[in-house]
Amino acid sequence: QRVILQAERVAVPEALFSPGDHGMTHTAGLPELVQRAIFAVGGEEAWRMHFGQVVLCGALAKLPGLRERLAAELRQMLPEHWPVTVVAEEEPELSVWRGAAEVVRDPAFRRAHFMSRQAA
């Protein structure tokens, strides 16, 4: 079976940025959600923590032009003295798994969150 995408190739990614144009009137777009997350920390603290640096994770990060468009829209929304960088791994669909795998390698994390069968 084969599915041919035409207008959907533009409409689906566009809904990430302008959900109101696609019937989702009470939903913020991706740039607004990132801005809210940054400012939820507090402006000055966010600046010190380099919150203008955004990492895209998951398969959607592979959408052509997503990284560039998000960077351009965030640049307009964040204070102009903040650097804005949006990056994605070469295989962003695996980035969350890689991060979790790195965390569980830490022996202190394993002792705090897992119990061996002998201890149970």
Give yes or no for residue 90 having a pLDDT over 60.
yes
pLDDT in tens, 18-30: 877 667 777 888 8
Q: How far apart (Å, rounded) are the C-alpha atoms in residues 61 and 90?
A: 10
First to last CA, the chain: 50
Q: How far apart (Å, rounded) are the C-alpha atoms in residues 5 and 15?
A: 16
pLDDT band at 119 (very low <50, low <70, confident <90, very high): low
Mean pLDDT of the chain: 81
3 three-state secondary structure: coil
pLDDT in tens, 76-88: 988 888 888 999 9
Widest Cα–Cα separation across the chain: 58
Whether the predicted model's global pTM rises above the 0.75 cut: no
